[in-house]
């Protein structure tokens, strides 16, 4: 195998990138199949690949993969909340939000779920997270929490006791993190949401907690 292919690192790549490493190979899809069967690259979906950890000597980053697998998108909901240490339970599938149609992918790297949102919603509360040689898009803690409410059926709250019950007992949310939450961002999201009343109840709860 061409040694320079390792320069791709951990970033998913398409057949065009692979062709640039093997310009003399007439049928690049056949070459891709060979590399997959040899365990040197992994097929994520049609036309999208990633180097195997054994070949690259670098661990896969599922958040980076999620961004490339289907986009525009960003990692969110329980996945992001767990990443920030705000939920105690391990989250195995990667949850993302996208302005495209909702989809899911079952790959050798894991399962990836994408939930549709409006373009306006997509543009708020997303940040670039840098880790060593890669960067990916992930929701802020505030956005991840409100994404969870916005896109989960059956979550409806009006009273402060309901919000407290949901955060503390249902989610087992790290309540200490409430003190640092951005109220302005939460209000911008609530204004766009079809669950406006529920999000306003959560905002009121957070404001009350921050004032203590």
pLDDT, one tens digit per residue, over 75-130 is 999 999 999 999 998 989 999 999 999 999 999 999 999 999 999 999 999 999 99
Q: pLDDT confidence of 4, banded at 50, 70, 90?
A: confident
Q: What is the pLDDT of residues 67-87, one digit of tens each?
A: 999 999 999 999 999 999 999
Token pair in block for residue 176: 């200490």
Q: What is the pLDDT of residues 171-203, one digit of tens each?
A: 999 999 999 999 999 999 999 999 999 999 999
Distance CA 66, CA 209 (A): 34
Q: What is the pLDDT of residues 9-51, one digit of tens each?
A: 999 999 999 999 999 888 999 999 999 999 999 999 999 999 9
Is residue 3 predicted with pLDDT exceeding 80? no
pLDDT of residue 128: 97
Which residues does residue 95 pair with via DSSP β-bridges, in sequence order? 113
Of all residues in the chain, the percent with pLDDT exceeding 90 is: 92
Per-residue pLDDT, averaged over 126-136, amounts to 94
Is residue 153 predicted with pLDDT exceeding 80? yes
The residue extents of the domains of the chain are 3-56, 62-211
Distance CA 88, CA 121 (A): 27
Distance CA 43, CA 13 (A): 10
Token pair in block for residue 160: 């402060």
Let me know: does 140 contact 127? Beta carbons within 8 Å: yes
Burial class (CB in 10 A: 0-12, 13-18, 19+), 164: middle
Q: What is the mean pLDDT of the chain?
A: 95
Q: pLDDT confidence of 1, banded at 50, 70, 90?
A: very low
Per-residue pLDDT, averaged over 134-148, amounts to 98
pLDDT of residue 26: 85
pLDDT of residue 2: 47
Let me know: does 35 contact 43? Beta carbons within 8 Å: no
């Amino acid at each position: 195998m061409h040694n320079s292919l390792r320069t791709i690192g951990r970033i998913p790549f398409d057949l065009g990138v692979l062709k640039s490493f093997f310009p003399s190979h007439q049928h690049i899809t056949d070459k891709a199949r060979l590399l997959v069967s040899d365990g040197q690259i992994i097929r994520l979906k049609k036309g999208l690949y990633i180097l195997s950890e054994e070949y690259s000597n670098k661990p896969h980053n599922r958040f980076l993969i999620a961004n490339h697998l289907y986009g525009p998108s960003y990692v969110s909901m329980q996945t992001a909340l767990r990443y920030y240490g705000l939920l105690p339970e391990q989250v195995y599938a990667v949850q993302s939000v996208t302005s495209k149609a909702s989809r899911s992918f079952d790959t050798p790297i894991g399962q990836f779920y994408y939930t549709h949102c409006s373009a306006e919603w997509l543009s708020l509360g997303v940040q670039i997270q840098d880790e060593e040689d890669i960067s990916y898009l992930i929701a802020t803690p505030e956005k991840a929490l409100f994404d969870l409410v916005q896109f989960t059926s059956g979550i409806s709250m009006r009273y402060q006791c309901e919000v407290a019950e949901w955060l503390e007992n249902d989610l087992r949310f790290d309540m200490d993190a409430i003190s640092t939450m951005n109220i302005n961002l939460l209000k911008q999201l609530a204004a766009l949401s079809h669950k406006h009343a529920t999000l306003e109840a959560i905002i009121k709860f957070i404001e009350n907690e921050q004032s203590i």
